[in-house]
Every structure is written in C-alpha cells, then in structure tokens.
Amino acid sequence: MQTNDNHQLFLDMQEHPENYTDSELEAMMDELDREPDVDKEWKRIRARSPLLTSLRRIAAVLIPVLIASGIAWAIIPQVISNDESNERDAETATVRQADTEGADVSPVRFNDVRLDSILGVVATHYGKAVEFRSSATRGMKFFTTWKPDRPLTDFIEGLNMFDGLQLTIQHDTIFVDAVAGKEDGE
C-alpha cells in the first residue's frame, strides 16, 4: 500500500509542483533515486505466492511423465497385439500340422505372419533347421499358403518369387538371404 501512495504522491507532485515545498520535492527525488532492496522484494513475492511456485514445480515434473505415459499407452497395445497375432498364427499352423499328419493334409494359410514363424513351422515339419543370414528378412511378413503334403522345394520356390528374398536348402538347413530387388526384364 505504501508503494501505491508514493506513486500517487509522485504523480501529483509532477502535475502540481506549486503545491509542494522544495524540501518535499527533494525528499521524493531522494526516495526515487534509492536502489530497491531486491532480496526484500523477492521475499515479498515468494510470500505472496508459495502455492503457485509449488504448482509450477509439480507441473514441471508431471508433464513429461504424463507425456511419456501417454506414448507408452498408445504403443504397448499395438506391440502386444502384433506379438500375440504372430504367436497365434504360428501355433495354429503347428496344431494343423500335428492334426493332419498321416491323414489327408489340407493347406495351411499364413496371414500377415513373420517369416521366422512361418519357416519355424515348415522346417519342423520337414526336419530341417533354419538360418537367417540377414536380420532384415527375419521380420518380413507374408500372406502365403503351405501345402504340407508337397515337397519343401515347392514351398521354397514360391517364397523365392518375392523380391528381396532368397532361400536355399543345403543338407539339413534352410538358409535365408536378403537380395537386392529384381530389375524389370531380368
């Protein structure tokens, strides 16, 4: 309140200096020339708003945590559903394979399944191992059909039609390589 009164007095002195004595004008000028006590003013400001300061600190900590949590909540269900889908498709193919051994074998369909899962099922059926020479090929996803009653070479030839992929059989191992895309006319 003191500051507002001084401010009003100063304005009045500027507008009507004739109403004040020289000593009053000099006293006001001395008061205006004095440097303010910064520490005193900071204490006054802090005393007036401790709750606001605390809320700002809490917000500074919570906002990044909430953003990270939101991102995690958005990503986790997609990752889990993709992994579960791949596992279900591989398990379904394995169950179908086990159910059809020695009987009339029906085709197995792989819908958006990773190549490592597909080849795991197929290689087990034919008693082969699988070796990926390129990590890029391991995560490729395919929509394909496998006929367990047909030779393994037929299935491998079908997969080799896809660009960027080359499968070969050597002894008891299926080797998977990444190759550059095929050019038109080759």
80 occurs within a structural domain:
no
As a whole number of angstroms, the distance between CA 4 and CA 9 comes to: 9
DSSP 97-119: HHHHTTSPPPPEEEEEEEHHHHH
Kindly report the CATH number assigned to the domain that includes residue 160: 3.55.50.30
Do 107 and 152 lie in a common domain?
yes
Q: Is the pTM of this model over 0.85?
A: no
What total number of domains does the chain contain?
Answer: 2
* Half-sphere exposure at residue 114, Cβ-oriented, CA atoms within 13 angstroms: 18
Tell whether 82 is covered by a domain. no
Asked if the structure places residue 81 within a domain, the reply is: no
Q: What is the pLDDT of residue 36?
A: 76
8 Å CB contact between 108 and 122: no
101 plus 173 within the same structural domain: yes
Q: Are residues 109 and 167 in the same domain?
A: yes
**CB-based contact 139:116 (threshold 8 Å):** yes
Q: How confident is the model at residue 156 (pLDDT cuts 50, 70, 90)?
A: very high
Any domain includes 184: no
Tell me: do 94 and 66 sit in the same domain.
no
Domain that holds residue 127: 88-177
Same domain, 65 and 103: no
64 pLDDT exceeds 70?
A: yes
- Say yes or no to pLDDT of 175 above 90: yes
93 and 67 housed in the same domain: no
CB 165 within 8 A of CB 179: yes
Place of tokens 């919570």: 62
Would you say residue 45 has pLDDT above 80?
no
Q: Are 157 and 97 within one domain?
A: yes
Kindly state whether residue 135 falls inside one of the protein's structural domains.
Answer: yes
Calculate what percentage of the chain has a pLDDT beyond 90. Answer: 13
Classify residue 182: in a domain, yes or no: no
